[in-house]
A = this chain, B = another copy of it.
């Protein structure tokens, strides 16, 4: 029972990547060939194809290769990643359609193009590019600050949970709001994708920080839901 195999050029061409990228992923410890021929040619299998999809999807979500490396060993379910990816693509469709509509309106109006038109167009353009920005912002700056904030937040949230406070209590909601702020700084405001990433245990809160146990994360999820409900109620026009 010999399963399918792809040489590096075949895989690159079938997936629209490059041989160089596949080499690079192997060097980076992300994706090794299933085997080598006697002549040392790489042969990838179906598991490799799936792994390549994971790599490229997570990269599209703004993660660096180093982060992808960590995330990809999680044994997360492919279907979850597909859903997260789809959510992200839906957002991108919305953004680019918005830009298209703006450009259509400008080019069809026959009037002189105003500076405000161009400013708004430029802003829409940067929204389309936003995922690239998010990737590049993931630098070391203030990592220790962010980590200590997460740790403090975990302590406070655990006190609420241990003390039997409902996720919708005033205090818990305030902490959830803080958590949201921290999370926003990671993924540039895409709250919906963020919560999906959190479920994938990829995004903040960092998994390797003491205190952020699965039950605490679930508690935070419920607090975030309560926060959303609270905000919706409060903001009804």
Contact = CB atoms under 8 A, between A and B. Distances in A.
Interface of A: 4, 14-17, 46, 49-50, 52-53, 56-57, 60, 78-79, 82-83, 85-86, 89-90, 92-93, 96-97, 99-100, 103-104, 106-107, 113, 115, 118-119, 121-123, 125-127, 129-130
Given A96-B93, A107-B83, A49 B17 contact: no
B82 A103 contact: yes
A188 to B, nearest CB: 11
Contact of A15 (B50, B93, B100, B119): B119
B123 A14 contact: yes
Contacts of A104: 86
26 contacts: A14-B119, A15-B126, A16-B125, A16-B126, A16-B129, A16-B130, A49-B119, A50-B118, A52-B118, A52-B122, A53-B118, A53-B121, A56-B122, A56-B125, A57-B125, A78-B113, A82-B103, A82-B113, A83-B107, A86-B104, A86-B107, A89-B99, A89-B103, A90-B100, A92-B96, A96-B96
